[in-house]
């Protein structure tokens, strides 16, 4: 394991998961995070709608619950994935709109926030369809509770709204640097 | 404290920090994260160049080290902030270029990665000038070690490259929803 050079830090459940996620590829399996996936806080993740190709990745997060902000039912395969991994589903159906947005009802935000703030539900994944507006709004409210100033809250919100998926025209230089990386043994 | 509803999860250092960051505002002090700030992994953060207005926020992260990818010296106030908070500085000076990019030397990536992968250095903040290209390249290499598929690595990279700071023309509806949030007591 790459980060076996420990001894100073007591490892918790969360950091063990973390260590696993830093482990080198024993076999060359590529994990596919859901669209617009990101870590919000320790034990709090955000993304677009999870698909079956994301299941292997999601298993590495050790999720206890998922907050789904879409009104649609999950496909059978997704329900089965949650069941077999012991993941609780909290669904708060909010309609998705293009601009101009409608407000998400206060009660929905409040109820979803209660789920996030209860540590027994974490690690938790918050998601909507594209991981932009509905998810971003809930994360923005969390940032306010964390006392982030509003310009920083909006910057983060905007970063996901502006995201274009599957970019293929990156700089060749940067692609090459990342592509060349072999596991580093400290 | 909002998330005192615990009992199921043993709390580690990391999650105690996390709990603190979820605590409600006792006094109305707004924290200002550095430009393009985000959590990469448990105990790994990324951002643009930290300024003195970010010090209060950075203190909430309980950092043990900072990886600076810029060749410039820190201002005196920043050096003093690191010293008084017991934060180790690892500087790997990489010149910043506009496109077309030059490659970051393999050795630099390798040395910076060793710092990240040693848990004794975490929590760690990785930063360059704007938290885009140099930081994004290092984070991209970390994602490769985590076996992320390349399109997802590039999506994340691109999310920060495309970021526009201090957006002020967000949807009024969404601003209002976030602005209205009062602390939620579960």
Contact B120 A184 (CB under 8 A): no
Query: Which tens digits make up the pLDDT trace of B155-183?
Result: 999 999 987 765 443 444 445 545 554 44
Q: Whose CA is closest to A155, among B132, B156, B167?
A: B167
Peptide bond into A123 cis (omega under 30): yes
Q: Please say whether the beta carbons of A111 and B184 come within 8 A.
A: no
Q: Does residue A107 lie within any of the structural domains? A: yes
Q: Does residue A22 lie within any of the structural domains? A: no
Contact list in B for residue A119 (CB cut-off 8 A) is 3, 5-6, 8-9, 11, 15, 19
Q: Please list the rounded mean pLDDT of every run of 10 residues in chain A (186 residues).
A: 37 44 62 97 97 98 97 96 98 72 80 97 96 93 96 95 59 49 43
CB hemisphere CA count around B137 (13 angstroms): 27
Q: Does residue B11 lie within any of the structural domains? A: no
Buried b (16+ CB within 10 A) or exposed e, A144-159: bbbbbbbebbbbbbbb
Is the confidence at residue B27, as pLDDT, over 90? no
| Dist CA A109 CA B179 (whole Å) | 12
Looking at chain A, which residue has its C-alpha nearest residue B134? Answer: A174
Question: Smallest Cβ distance to B118: which of A5, A36, A38?
Answer: A5
Q: Does residue B21 lie within any of the structural domains? A: no
| Dist CA B161 CA B139 (whole Å) | 13
What values do phi and psi take at B126, rounded to 5? Answer: -100, 130
Range of the domain at B100: 29-184
A70: domain CATH number is 3.90.190.10
Q: Does residue B10 lie within any of the structural domains? A: no
Whole-number pLDDT of residue B162: 84
CB hemisphere CA count around A103 (13 angstroms): 14
Whole-number pLDDT of residue B5: 40
Q: Does residue A128 lie within any of the structural domains? A: yes
Q: Does residue A4 lie within any of the structural domains? A: no
Contact B101 A173 (CB under 8 A): yes
What is the three-class DSSP state of A104? Answer: coil
Q: Residue B9 contacts by C-beta under 8 Å, 6 or more apart in sequence?
A: A13, A119, A120, A122, B15
Contact B101 A145 (CB under 8 A): no
Q: Does residue A6 lie within any of the structural domains? A: no
Q: Please say whether the beta carbons of B3 and B184 come within 8 A.
A: no
In total, how many domains does chain B have? 1
């Amino acid at each position: 394991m790459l980060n076996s050079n420990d001894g100073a830090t007591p490892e918790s459940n969360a950091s063990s998961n973390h260590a696993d996620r830093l482990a080198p590829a024993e076999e060359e399996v590529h994990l596919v995070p859901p669209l617009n996936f990101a870590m919000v806080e320790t034990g709090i993740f955000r993304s677009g709608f999870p698909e079956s190709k994301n299941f292997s990745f999601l298993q590495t997060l050790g999720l206890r619950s998922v907050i789904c902000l879409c009104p649609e039912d999950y496909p059978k395969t997704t329900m089965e994935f949650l069941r077999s991994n012991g993941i609780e589903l909290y669904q708060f159906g909010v309609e998705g709109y293009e601009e101009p947005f409608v407000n998400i009802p206060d009660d929905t935000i409040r109820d979803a926030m209660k789920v996030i703030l209860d540590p027994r539900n974490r690690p938790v994944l918050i998601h909507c369809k594209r991981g932009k507006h509905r998810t971003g709004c809930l994360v923005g409210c969390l940032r306010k509770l964390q006392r982030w100033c509003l310009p920083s809250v909006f910057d983060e919100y905007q970063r996901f709204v502006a995201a274009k998926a599957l970019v293929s025209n990156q700089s060749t230089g940067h692609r090459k640097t990342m592509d060349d990386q072999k596991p580093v043994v400290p």
